[in-house]
A and B are shown apart, each in its own frame.
Chain A
Amino acid sequence: MWIERKALAAEIPAAAALDTRQLCELLAALGFPVDGVASREGGDVLDVDITANRGDAMSHRGMAREVAAKLGQPLTPLAPPPVAEGAPKVPVRLESPACPLYATALLTLNPGLGGGGTPVEAQAFLRALDASAKGLPAVDASNELLHRYGHPTHAFDADRIRGAVTVRWAVAGEKLVTLDGVTRTLLAQDLVIADEAGPIALAGVMGGDGTKVTEATRRVLLESAWFDPKTVRATARRHSLHTDASHRFGRGADPAMAAVARDLLVDRLRTWAGATLEGAWTAGALPAPAAPVTLSEAMLVRVAGEPLTLAEAAEALTRLGCAVVAGSDALAAQPPTWRHDLAIPDDLAEEVLRLRGYEHIPSVLPPLEGPPQRLSPDYLLRRALARRLAHLGFHQTVTYGFISPEADAAFAAPGNAPEGRTLANPLGREYSVLRGTLLSSLKEAAEQNLRQGTREVRLFEVAPTYSSGPAGPEERFTLGLAWGGTQGGEDYLSPARPVREADLRGIAQDLGLAVIPEVRGLGEGLFGFEAPVADLPRPGERIVSTFRPFSRFPSVERDLSLLVDLGQSYGALATAMRAALPADALQDLRCVDVFRHKSLPEGRQAWLIRLRFQVDRTLMGSEVDGWVASALAAAEALGAKLRT
């Protein structure tokens, strides 16, 4: 909200002694940070940030109250020439508890008589706040009062109101054209001002077009009421109609200001537009004040962290406008009519600290009352997994949890219907489904990297994926990994070669995944897999495992170069050879080289199979020979031949 320094100083003269920077610091320390300062014709104007609980501060007067309380200096008295009330000139009926108080006045405008219209100072004030003057004194005065004193008022063209004025709930389906020219269809929860023909204003939000003040207006009916904040908020939200008035009524206006604002408005119309008061009257009464709030000394000291006294607290609260009765171990504070946010003892404690300055709060480490808890195994597992993959050369990505239905369908499990994971109000179709797979996101990131000219892309993400369940999307942490491009070739000893599917299977195996996931082709030379993090081996509870003896005798390695068909299954061959060998002696069996060349027989390739044996004694050459012969025989049964 814009606050003009000059207008602020008019409410709290002591503020004139502060320069702009000092004023900004003082406001920030009170909880009103200044987002920016603009230089306007009347001097500096501050863009003050006001939190949603402080509707009372949304005016120059409101801000001045805060400054006055902080400085301990007086406010300029607010004393408009009193307006004598009389019998209603127009009957006003209040039919809803959402409007307990409605002050009004009827005036005749006499533009020919003395009134020169909106004064230049008022116009400049409005311009400084980015609120333009309309040149209609009734409208400009209402607007000026709102910014200066915070209480929204409204002026109707009295000659366009038919019969009595009623504040009532709308009849569902009723229509109202608001000042912005939009036709609003009302709900039964909307509070309206109505005449005998129908609604003439949305209460506390916006006036109606049919009764608005124009240059032709000769008589005005003023409204200075108090409306229930919740009702105003709901109507403003329903009709997407957020106005200066709805912001203030919606956060809680000061009911005591209703009559004062009416009197101020009457005074301005008299002096600005030569208006004649026909009559002033009020329907309803001030709502009952909130109950006093009790603050104990114990709580004050606990919150503040130092031995503040009730006397100090009473002094601070009194400065803020509370009526305080101090007892021996607690005080009772009656909040002022403008503070709807002071409802519990904690609120009072905050006010005492706030006025005193948060910079005085001591700094103390909280004592440990119980033993610290461990980090959860799941969390540690994920953290260790990320570090491990980063050390293996992979880059951790962070991608959005929602993707397009097409991207989801490309890799999500077939049974995982997207309907249960679809957002009602996505940013767009491409962000509409809570993903059942990480691979689409990784594919996109990987391809983007490859397009940028990266030789090799290695990415991974550890993030939740979703599956549709009866009670909503079920969430589980998933590891996704993508690898593509050219591996190696970055130094003179490592030859370059394309990344292959097998490389990813190797990673999956190395991670110890219980089930080796399917490696999917994500694109040209780009592969990926994903697996639930729960499939990763959990680190054991034991810090050091139980000792298991191992052989200290030397192992014996033998290589077998086998000619096999090009289509030969390695798994079948390895299984057959293993079956032919004593399980307790065979330590390892693996293919260490593949040789394909035209010198080999047509349709054949050579596999170099390495066998490693070890037992709990020195192996005899002859027994190893026997085993190797058995393994060879098993291979030969599958069509392999020893290459010579």
Chain B
Amino acid sequence: MDHLLPAEILEADRAFPEALAACADLDALLRLKGAYVGREGSHAARLMDLLKAAPKEQKRDLGAAINGLKQGWEEGLTARQTELEAAKKRLNALASSWDPALPPPVPARGALHPLNRLMDRLVEVFRPLGFHVEEGPEVETEAHNFDGLNIPEDHPAKASSDTFYLAAHPELLLRTHTSPVQVRTLLRVAPDLHRLGGIRFLAPGRVYRKDEIDPTHSPMFHQVEGMLVGHGIGMQHLKGTLEYALRALFGPHTEIRLRPSYFPFVEPGCEVDVSCPLCDAQGCRVCKGSGWVEILGAGLLHPNVLRHAGIDPEEWSGWAFGMGVERMAMMLSQTPDLRLFFENDQRFLRAMGGLD
């Protein structure tokens, strides 16, 4: 019997559910109601006029069709009205207590640990130079932790007074530095070194040494290892990289200073100082008045370290550095006690680590 109804009415009926859903508030619903079932000018009013004017024999069918339409519209409108009224009630309840002068609700805020933030930052600083991140296990073999790094068999660091060993596996220990990641990575990439064009990476991570817990010692701490292997690498490349990185970290006016030192896995070896970032090298408590702070140890890779990984030191050369994360964090933050970093007091974490 749809043929009895005008096309625009049928179109309006098809559009009704969507129009209904689109009503966001009671006013909109009232307008829709007026348009469909209002007393005057509505679709329903037009249909009533149509019915009045219809020939007698069509009145019955047409009436049924019109009633069907009107009923559908009215039911829809009533249901939507109930929904909107409930929503309005909820809003009203809120609005009654809402006060623009009071501080607004702020989402809860957590924090990254300051040590992790510092390590993340170091990675970001080295990324533009093409460094990626390598990682290794914290439970290491004696071979990777010591032997592969040219550390003599009778080195005191190997003693059980300095290094934690596993009871059931005497050859396993808790790594005492992140340097075994050098050994693992070199062993892995050695066959591919030409294709890769050398390698450069950072290795951040936790390390363990048998120190009693006190304000400046912890049996667990963090290091960031850096390593680069390429052709013709010399001390100038170590200095250039560290100068770039430490300036990115501490500010463009930072100066660095290399001093000769000794680590078994590098030759030449050096300690690296930065101009004190806290006093602008004018001398303060942190730099003990010298204007310089020791920040890391570094050097050119000892040929034995390359040889151990099957890399020819006649062709390849490189450098490595190792940096104590806690030491740097304590220096930058002037935190008086190392233990604070492991107590995990939320106030400390929020103030020191934060999130940005």
Q: Which residues of A contact B (CB under 8 A)?
A: 28-31, 33, 51-54, 230, 233-234, 237, 302-306, 344, 346-347, 349-350, 353-354, 358-359, 361-376, 378-379, 383, 386-387, 389-402, 419-427, 431, 434, 445, 448-449, 452, 454, 456-459, 463-464, 466, 468, 471-473, 475, 490-494, 553-557, 618-621
Partner of B262, one of A52, A362, A426: A52
- Indicate if the CB atoms of B139 and A234 lie closer than 8 Å: no
The chain A residue with its CB closest to the CB of B22 is: A554
Per-residue CB contact flags for chain B residues 181-206 toward chain A (1 = under 8 Å, else 0) read 00000000000000111111100001
- Indicate if the CB atoms of B110 and A237 lie closer than 8 Å: no
Partner of B260, one of A31, A367, A456, A618: A31
User: Does B332 sit at the interface, judged by CB under 8 A?
Assistant: no
Q: Which has the most chain B C-beta neighbours within 10 Å: A344, A423, A459?
A: A423
- Indicate if the CB atoms of B165 and A491 lie closer than 8 Å: no
Known: A53-B262, A395-B349. 8 other contacts (CB 8 A): A237-B159, A346-B300, A361-B235, A367-B230, A372-B131, A395-B353, A431-B219, A618-B14
Could you jot down 17 A-B contacts, CB within 8 Å? Answer: A31-B260, A230-B154, A350-B268, A350-B269, A358-B258, A363-B236, A365-B237, A387-B112, A400-B219, A401-B206, A422-B167, A424-B164, A424-B165, A425-B160, A445-B343, A449-B346, A621-B76
User: Does B355 sit at the interface, judged by CB under 8 A?
Assistant: yes
- Indicate if the CB atoms of B342 and A399 lie closer than 8 Å: yes
CA distance A589 to B232 in the complex (A): 66
Complex interface: chain A residues within 8 A of B79 (CB)? 621
User: Does B49 sit at the interface, judged by CB under 8 A?
Assistant: no
Task: Of the listed stretches B29-37, B38-46, B59-67, B101-109, name the one at the interface; the rest are far from the partner chain.
Answer: B101-109
- Indicate if the CB atoms of B345 and A448 lie closer than 8 Å: yes
Complex interface: chain A residues within 8 A of B107 (CB)? 393
Partner of B271, one of A33, A52, A421, A491: A33
The chain A residue with its CB closest to the CB of B198 is: A369
- Indicate if the CB atoms of B236 and A424 lie closer than 8 Å: no
**In whole Å, how far is B29's beta carbon from the nearest beta carbon of chain A?**
14
User: Does B94 sit at the interface, judged by CB under 8 A?
Assistant: yes
CA distance A379 to B115 in the complex (A): 16
CA distance A367 to B234 in the complex (A): 12
A-B CB proximity, top 7 nearest: A370-B197, A305-B236, A393-B108, A31-B260, A350-B268, A369-B197, A372-B130
Task: Of the listed stretches B4-12, B238-246, B276-284, name the one at the interface; the rest are far from the partner chain.
Answer: B238-246
- Indicate if the CB atoms of B237 and A364 lie closer than 8 Å: yes
Partner of A353, one of B198, B268, B345: B268
Partner of B154, one of A234, A387, A468: A234
Complex interface: chain A residues within 8 A of B213 (CB)? 427
- Indicate if the CB atoms of A457 and B235 lie closer than 8 Å: no
**In whole Å, how far is A85's beta carbon from the nearest beta carbon of chain B?**
35
Contacts of B92-127 to chain A: CB distance below 8 A: 94, 97-99, 102-113, 115-116, 120, 123, 127
- Indicate if the CB atoms of A51 and B343 lie closer than 8 Å: no
Per-residue CB contact flags for chain B residues 161-193 toward chain A (1 = under 8 Å, else 0) read 100111111101010000000000000000000
A370 with B196: in contact, given A237-B156, A621-B79 (CB under 8 Å)?
Answer: yes
CA distance A471 to B199 in the complex (A): 30
Contacts of B131-152 to chain A: CB distance below 8 A: 131-133, 135, 137-139
**In whole Å, how far is B189's beta carbon from the nearest beta carbon of chain A?**
10
- Indicate if the CB atoms of A422 and B168 lie closer than 8 Å: yes
Complex interface: chain B residues within 8 A of A472 (CB)? 139, 166, 168-169, 172
**In whole Å, how far is A237's beta carbon from the nearest beta carbon of chain B?**
7
A424 with B167: in contact, given A344-B303, A621-B75 (CB under 8 Å)?
Answer: yes
Per-residue CB contact flags for chain B residues 210-249 toward chain A (1 = under 8 Å, else 0) read 1011000001100000001011111111011101100000
Partner of A396, one of B123, B231, B343, B349: B349
CA distance A508 to B201 in the complex (A): 33
User: Does B129 sit at the interface, judged by CB under 8 A?
Assistant: yes
The chain B residue with its CB closest to the CB of A346 is: B267
CA distance A376 to B137 in the complex (A): 15
Interface of B is mostly: mixed
- Indicate if the CB atoms of B220 and A359 lie closer than 8 Å: no
- Indicate if the CB atoms of A28 and B240 lie closer than 8 Å: no
Complex interface: chain A residues within 8 A of B97 (CB)? 492-493
A449 with B345: in contact, given A31-B259, A358-B259 (CB under 8 Å)?
Answer: yes
Complex interface: chain A residues within 8 A of B105 (CB)? 490-491, 493-494
The chain A residue with its CB closest to the CB of B201 is: A373
User: Does B296 sit at the interface, judged by CB under 8 A?
Assistant: no
Q: Which has the most chain B C-beta neighbours within 10 Å: A346, A391, A395?
A: A395
CA distance A555 to B197 in the complex (A): 57
Complex interface: chain A residues within 8 A of B260 (CB)? 29-31, 350, 353-354, 358
CA distance A180 to B154 in the complex (A): 25
- Indicate if the CB atoms of B111 and A390 lie closer than 8 Å: yes
Q: Which has the most chain A C-beta neighbours within 10 Å: B18, B172, B237?
A: B237
User: Does B302 sit at the interface, judged by CB under 8 A?
Assistant: yes
- Indicate if the CB atoms of B346 and A553 lie closer than 8 Å: no
- Indicate if the CB atoms of B139 and A434 lie closer than 8 Å: yes
- Indicate if the CB atoms of A354 and B317 lie closer than 8 Å: no
CA distance A475 to B137 in the complex (A): 7
- Indicate if the CB atoms of B156 and A426 lie closer than 8 Å: no
CA distance A387 to B244 in the complex (A): 27
CA distance A408 to B340 in the complex (A): 23
**In whole Å, how far is A578's beta carbon from the nearest beta carbon of chain B?**
23
- Indicate if the CB atoms of A54 and B112 lie closer than 8 Å: no
- Indicate if the CB atoms of A554 and B17 lie closer than 8 Å: yes
CA distance A423 to B165 in the complex (A): 6
CA distance A456 to B346 in the complex (A): 10
- Indicate if the CB atoms of A366 and B110 lie closer than 8 Å: no
Complex interface: chain B residues within 8 A of A621 (CB)? 17, 72, 75-76, 79
- Indicate if the CB atoms of A305 and B234 lie closer than 8 Å: yes
CA distance A31 to B259 in the complex (A): 6
- Indicate if the CB atoms of A393 and B240 lie closer than 8 Å: no
The chain A residue with its CB closest to the CB of B120 is: A383
The chain A residue with its CB closest to the CB of B263 is: A51
Complex interface: chain B residues within 8 A of A445 (CB)? 343-344
**In whole Å, how far is A397's beta carbon from the nearest beta carbon of chain B?**
4
- Indicate if the CB atoms of B110 and A393 lie closer than 8 Å: yes
- Indicate if the CB atoms of B237 and A359 lie closer than 8 Å: no
Complex interface: chain B residues within 8 A of A369 (CB)? 197-198, 230-231
Complex interface: chain A residues within 8 A of B235 (CB)? 303-305, 353, 358, 361
- Indicate if the CB atoms of B18 and A554 lie closer than 8 Å: yes
- Indicate if the CB atoms of A396 and B317 lie closer than 8 Å: no
CA distance A358 to B21 in the complex (A): 77
Partner of A364, one of B166, B240, B271, B355: B240
- Indicate if the CB atoms of B349 and A379 lie closer than 8 Å: no
Complex interface: chain A residues within 8 A of B108 (CB)? 392-393, 456, 458
Complex interface: chain B residues within 8 A of A52 (CB)? 262
- Indicate if the CB atoms of B243 and A395 lie closer than 8 Å: no
User: Does B341 sit at the interface, judged by CB under 8 A?
Assistant: yes
- Indicate if the CB atoms of A393 and B109 lie closer than 8 Å: yes
User: Does B261 sit at the interface, judged by CB under 8 A?
Assistant: yes
- Indicate if the CB atoms of B268 and A454 lie closer than 8 Å: no
CA distance A448 to B348 in the complex (A): 13
Complex interface: chain B residues within 8 A of A51 (CB)? 261-262
User: Does B350 sit at the interface, judged by CB under 8 A?
Assistant: yes
The chain A residue with its CB closest to the CB of B256 is: A363
User: Does B257 sit at the interface, judged by CB under 8 A?
Assistant: yes
